[in-house]
Amino acid sequence: MEKQSHTKTLVISSILAALIFVFTFLLRLPVNTSGAYMNIGDSVIYCSGILVSAPWAAAAAGIGSMLADLLLGGGIYIPATLVIKALMGLVCALMIRKGGLARFVAACILGGAIMTAGYGLFEWAMFGWSYAAGTLPFNLIQWGAGVGVAAIFYYPVKRTKGLLK
C-alpha cells in the first residue's frame, strides 16, 4: 500500500511540474533583454500544495520553473529560479495543509513575497540596485496575477484532490 501511495504522489508531482512548466513557458511576457519575464506559473505552484505535501510541491515548483528558464535561455536565472520557486512551493504547501480559502490566499501572498524578495535580492547581487528596482514592478504584477489566478482555481483543485484519493 505504501509503494502505491508513493508512486501516486510521484506521478501527481510530475504532472504538477509539467503544468508549472507549461504555465511558465507558454504564458509569459518578456520584461527586458536579460532573460527576465513575467508568467502565471506561480498560480500552479500555489495550487500544488493542495495536492501534494511540502517536499513534493517544492520539487515540482523548482523543477518545472527551472526547466522553463532553461528552455527560454534565461541561463543566469536558472539556479535562482530553482531555489526561489522551490521555497515558494515548500512554504505555501506547509501553510495550506489546513484551512480554507482565506488561508490559501494568505499562503499565496506569502509565496509571492518570497518570489519578489528572492528575485530582487538575486538581481541586486548580479546586476545592481537600479536593475533590481526596474524589475520590481513586473515582479509585483506577477505576484498579484499569480495570487488572483490561484484563488480562482482553489475550489476546482480542492475538488480534484478528493478525486485523487
Q: pLDDT of 61-82, one tens digit each?
A: 999 999 999 998 778 999 999 9
Closest CA to 150 of 80, 98, 77, 89: 89
Range of the domain at 147: 2-164
**pLDDT computed for residue 72 by the predictor:** 84
Cell 511540502 belongs to: 54
Number of domains in the chain: 1
Contacts for 157 with CB less than 8 Å, ≥ 6 apart: 47, 50, 51
Phi-psi region of 73 (alpha: psi -120 to 50; beta: other; left: phi over 0): left
CATH number at residue 137: 1.10.1760.20
H/E segment holding residue 28: strand 28-30
What does the radius of gyration of the chain's CA atoms come to, in whole angstroms?
Answer: 15
- Separation of alpha carbons 158 and 86, rounded Å: 21
Mean pLDDT of 132-147: 90
Distance in angstroms (rounded) separating the CA atoms of residues 30 and 28:
7
Highest average pLDDT, of 17-21, 30-34, 98-102, comes from: 17-21
In angstroms, the CA 66 to CA 72 distance is 10
The predicted structure's pLDDT at residue 29: 74
CB neighbour list of residue 152: distance below 8 Å, 6 or more residues apart: none
pTM here is 0.89
pLDDT of amino acid 4: 62
DSSP annotation of 35 reads S
pLDDT at 37 over 80: no
Confidence of residue 12 (pLDDT cuts 50, 70, 90): very high
Of 119, 113, 94, 107, residue with least CA distance to 150 = 107
Least confident among 2-6, 23-27, 116-120, 144-148:
2-6
pLDDT of 95 > 70? The answer is yes
Query: Can you tell me the mean pLDDT for 90-95?
Result: 96
